[in-house]
């Protein structure tokens, strides 16, 4: 079954608009979930919109969401196709009010992401990709543009670093490459920076969950890059939804893996 990505973009944008309305009030409480990650009313509002929207258009496709994560493995391990949703990626950035948060919706098929939509409400920008039409970026008021990773590293590489989760392992990991500059971003925008050739590499030791990475991996891989845990593609619908450490590359050859 082919998914109409325009419908997924519309759902993400409606969820993002709800997040923005709450963001602009500045009046929201912050709860702490069992894993010590923050939760706001914006996470809940966006999740409700996305779950309802997907149910209207694709009721036969199951959904795993950050805010609806407690689906037994014995049930979900049978799913070869499902949506994986992070209704508000970058809740810490939302709380800090730096604008670097996103809505992420991915389609997983046979354990890998094959479609991804990332909507950044504050810049009104959507990154989207599927296996049929490639990877794209659209900002309000402008035409969508096709995006592709950088493949020229003769003058050195640009690393993208996490705004809220940088670790000591970054320095060691990046020491193996000719890094000449770096940029800092929150949420799944780090994947997008590589996909649109604004950066070349992103290392993350953890912790992340599958919904944190799925849409970004889809956009980046369809734009020509890769997301590797060691030398293997990052996979989904594991018994534990916790990801291992991973690195995003503009090219597999950077990781010593043939294209």
pLDDT digits (tens, 9 = 90+) for 171-217: 788 888 999 999 999 999 999 999 999 999 999 987 899 999 999 99
The CATH architecture assigned to 5-146 reads 2-Layer Sandwich (3.30)
CATH class as words, domain 157-255 = alpha beta
Contacts by residues 168-172 (CB-CB < 8 Å, ≥ 24 positions apart)? 169/203, 169/205, 169/245, 170/203, 170/205
- pLDDT at site 166: 60
Cis amide leading into 207 (omega within 30): yes
CA nearest neighbour of 116 among 206, 43, 189: 189
Across the chain, mean pLDDT equals 92
CATH 3.30.540.10 in the chain, residue ranges: 5-146
């Amino acid at each position: 079954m082919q998914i109409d990505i325009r419908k997924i973009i519309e759902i993400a944008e409606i969820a993002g608009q709800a997040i923005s309305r709450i963001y602009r009030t500045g009046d929201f409480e912050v709860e702490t979930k069992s894993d010590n990650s923050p939760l706001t009313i914006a996470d809940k509002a966006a999740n409700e919109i996305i779950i309802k929207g997907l149910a209207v258009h694709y009721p036969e496709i199951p959904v795993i969401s950050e805010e609806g994560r407690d689906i037994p493995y014995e049930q979900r391990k049978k799913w070869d196709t499902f949506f994986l949703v992070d209704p508000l990626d970058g809740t810490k950035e939302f709380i800090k009010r730096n604008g670097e948060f996103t809505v992420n919706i991915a389609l997983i098929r046979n354990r890998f992401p094959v479609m991804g939509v990332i909507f950044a409400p504050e810049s009104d920008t959507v990154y989207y990709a599927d296996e049929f039409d490639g990877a794209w970026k659209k900002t309000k008021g402008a035409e969508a543009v096709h995006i592709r990773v950088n493949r020229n590293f003769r003058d050195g590489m640009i690393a993208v670093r996490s705004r809220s989760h940088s670790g000591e392992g970054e320095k060691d990991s990046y020491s193996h490459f000719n890094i000449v500059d770096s940029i800092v971003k929150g949420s799944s925008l780090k994947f997008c920076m590589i996909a649109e050739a604004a950066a070349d590499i992103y290392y993350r030791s953890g912790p992340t969950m599958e919904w944190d990475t799925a849409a970004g991996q889809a956009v980046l891989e369809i734009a020509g890059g890769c997301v590797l845990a060691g030398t293997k593609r990052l996979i989904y619908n594991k018994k534990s939804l916790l990801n291992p450490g991973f690195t995003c590359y503009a090219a597999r050859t950077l990781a010593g893996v043939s294209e």
